[in-house]
Chain A
Amino acid sequence: MPHRRVWQEAFGATLPVMFGYLPLGAAFGILAIEVGVPVWGALLMSLVIYAGAGQFLAVALLGAGAGLAEVAVATLMLNSRHLFYGLSLLKRFEGAGWRKPYLIFALTDETYSLLTGQAGEARQDHALAFRVSLLNQAWWVLGSLAGALAGATLTFDSRGIEFALTALFIVLTLEQARRLRRALPFVIALATGLGALALLPERHLLLGAIGAASLVLLAHYRSVTPRREGTA
């Protein structure tokens, strides 16, 4: 596929993320300036940390004058759900060559969703995955910069536009269901998701639910493998 076509396909796939990342990035930029981070600092954070919730947490900790050890532990805890993302992408990123380090670095919730959803998963298209990851970060960096520079002087009333990310997750769930045609992962997700919602404080919700879902899938794997070997 010619480069332009790949870029076009990547751009189209990341559009919903753009609608979410520009305003969220701007919100981060505004917040960072309020806490006293210089514009270049906010920009640098979006370039080298690149984690939505992680950066909001970082700014809050910075404002509270937290110590470095605290910061490291809090960041590790908050982002530990990414461990499970990597587990399910080991195969997908195989043979990605020089693109692989960046693909791993740029693995946010939204990029993971796109890469495991529509964007060329079947054909292990690393060129497309790389562009999708790069564009997603570009939206995030642009949003942060705009927020840091313009502060609260946005003229467009964009309240509510962050729902684009929710809508994206819904669409990708429907697409996954359509492709997989098995209820199992969705039943597990409903149980662990609603269970975590009922039992865990908000900051542990995602990790708790995703961790529990992984454990249930592990148990399920254990329960089906002996039978497979028996019939083989």
Chain B
Amino acid sequence: MSLVALLTFIGVCALATFATRVLPFVALSRHADHPLILHLGRYLPPAVMMILVIYALRDFRPLAEGRLNVAADGWPMLIAALTVVGLHLWRRHALLSIIGGTGLYMAMIQVGWMP
């Protein structure tokens, strides 16, 4: 691949990505105080966060197609996720919850443990 072709390719990707990020700010900058925008600003972030959690855990699908088939890392993922929830409700220390759950997940994945 030539230098120009690669640079063009990267440029197109960069512009397309930035376009999706900047569009609301350009199109709606005068309406930042509109009650609908405030409504979305209040309720959309928690909804998105919850959706990202569901998305991140999508490999855990018990009973999919009528049987207990989960992806290779399905159970460790769910157990680690519940550990994060438990740790966070208990101590409410973000870094502790994240490191605890991630450490447990890494241990389960690397040892190859599977219930």
Contact = CB atoms under 8 A, between A and B. Distances in A.
- The secondary-structure label for the interface of chain A is helix
Interface in B80-94: 80-81, 84-85, 88-89, 94
Given A170-B85, A177-B46, A206-B51, A90 B102 contact: no
B17 A50 contact: yes
Interface residues on B, range: 35 or more
A112 B17 CA distance: 15
B47 A217 contact: yes
A145 to B, nearest CB: 16
Contact of B13 (A54, A163, A173): A54
13 contacts: A86-B25, A90-B24, A159-B109, A160-B102, A166-B56, A167-B80, A171-B84, A180-B42, A185-B46, A193-B51, A205-B55, A209-B55, A221-B40
B45 interface: yes
Interface in A191-228: 192-194, 197, 202, 205-206, 209-210, 213-214, 217-218, 220-221, 225
B110 to A, nearest CB: 5
Interface in B11-44: 11-25, 28-29, 31-33, 35-44
Nearest to B36: A221
A205 B56 CA distance: 11
B4 interface: no
B21 A104 contact: yes
A93 interface: yes
B45 A176 contact: yes
Interface in A93-108: 93-94, 100, 104-105, 107
Nearest to B52: A169
B45 A116 contact: yes
B47 A213 contact: yes
Contacts of B44: 84, 87-88, 185, 213-214, 217
Nearest to B50: A189
B53 interface: yes
Given A58-B13, A170-B85, A118 B94 contact: yes
A213 B39 CA distance: 13
B69 interface: no
B112 to A, nearest CB: 10
B68 interface: no
Nearest to A188: B47
A171 B94 contact: yes
Interface stretch (A75-83, A123-131, A134-142): A75-83
A12 to B, nearest CB: 7
B63 interface: no
Interface in B40-82: 40-58, 73, 76-77, 80-81
Given A58-B13, A68-B9, A202 B41 contact: no
Given A90-B31, A169-B53, A79 B20 contact: yes
A107 B50 contact: no
B102 A19 contact: yes
A16 interface: yes
A5 B42 CA distance: 28
A180 B16 CA distance: 34
Contacts of B32: 90-91, 94
Contacts of B105: 160, 163
